[in-house]
Chain A
Amino acid sequence: MSVGLQSMETDVVVLGAGPAGLAAAVSARSAGARVLLVEREDRVGGILKQCVHDGFGLEKFRERLTGPEYALREADAFRASGASLLTEAYVTSATRSGDSSFLLDCVSPRGVAQVRARALVMATGCRERTDRQVFIHGDRPAGIFTAGLAQYMVNVQGLLPGRRAVILGSGDIGLIMARRLTLEGVKVEGVYEIKSEPSGLARNVRQCLEDFGIPLYLSTTVTSVRGRRRVEGVTVAAVDGRSRPIPGTERELACDTLILSVGLIPENELAVSLGVPLDGATRGPRVDQNMHTLADGVFACGNAVHVNDLADYVSESGRVAGGAAAAWALGGPQARDLTPLRAGPGFLYAVPQFVDVLSGERGSVFFRSNATVAAGARVSLGAMKDDDRRELAAKTYPVLRPPELERLVLPPELPSGADSYILDMERMDGGGNDA
Chain B
Amino acid sequence: MPETLNLTCIVCPRGCRLTVVKDGDAVSVSGHACPRGEAYGRQEAVCPLRSLTTTVRADGGARPRLAVRSSADLPLSRLLDAMAALDGVVVRAPVRAGDVVARDILGLGVDMLATDNLEEARHE
- Interface, chain A (partner B; CB < 8 A): 49, 52-55, 58, 64, 66-69, 72, 154-158, 180, 183-185, 201-203, 205-207, 211, 309-310, 398, 404
- Given A183-B79, A202-B15, A54:B10 Cβ within 8 A: no
CB-CB under 8 A from B33, the residues of chain A are 398
Complex contact B15–A157 (CB within 8 A): no
CB-CB under 8 A from A66, the residues of chain B are 53, 67, 69, 115
Q: How far is the CA of A72 from the CA of B8 in the complex (A)?
A: 30
Enumerate 7 A-B pairs (CB-CB under 8 Å) in ascending A order: A58-B12, A66-B67, A67-B67, A72-B117, A156-B65, A180-B54, A201-B13
Q: Count of A-B contacts with CB under 8 A?
A: 78
CB-CB under 8 A from A58, the residues of chain B are 12-13
Q: How far is the CA of A64 from the CA of B15 in the complex (A)?
A: 15
Q: Which 6 pairs from chain A and chain B are nearest by CB?
A: A68-B116, A202-B15, A52-B67, A206-B8, A203-B10, A158-B65
Complex contact A202–B8 (CB within 8 A): yes
Q: How far is the CA of A58 from the CA of B36 in the complex (A)?
A: 13
Interface assignment of B97: CB less than 8 Å from any CB of chain A: yes
Taking A157-B64, A180-B54 as known contacts, 16 extra A-B pairs with beta carbons closer than 8 A to each other, sorted by chain A number, are A52-B115, A53-B53, A58-B13, A66-B67, A66-B115, A69-B116, A72-B97, A72-B117, A155-B67, A184-B54, A185-B83, A203-B8, A203-B12, A203-B13, A205-B8, A206-B10
Interface assignment of B42: CB less than 8 Å from any CB of chain A: no
CB-CB under 8 A from B85, the residues of chain A are none
Complex contact B76–A211 (CB within 8 A): yes
Determine how close the nearest CB of chain A comes to the CB of B90; give it in whole angstroms.
Answer: 11
Complex contact B15–A201 (CB within 8 A): yes
Determine how close the nearest CB of chain B comes to the CB of A111; give it in whole angstroms.
Answer: 18
Complex contact B50–A52 (CB within 8 A): no
Determine how close the nearest CB of chain B comes to the CB of A390; give it in whole angstroms.
Answer: 31
Closest to B87 in A: A185
Q: How far is the CA of A182 from the CA of B53 in the complex (A)?
A: 13
Complex contact A68–B65 (CB within 8 A): no
Interface assignment of B7: CB less than 8 Å from any CB of chain A: yes
1/0 per residue, CB under 8 A from A, across B61-85: the answer is 0011101110000001001100100
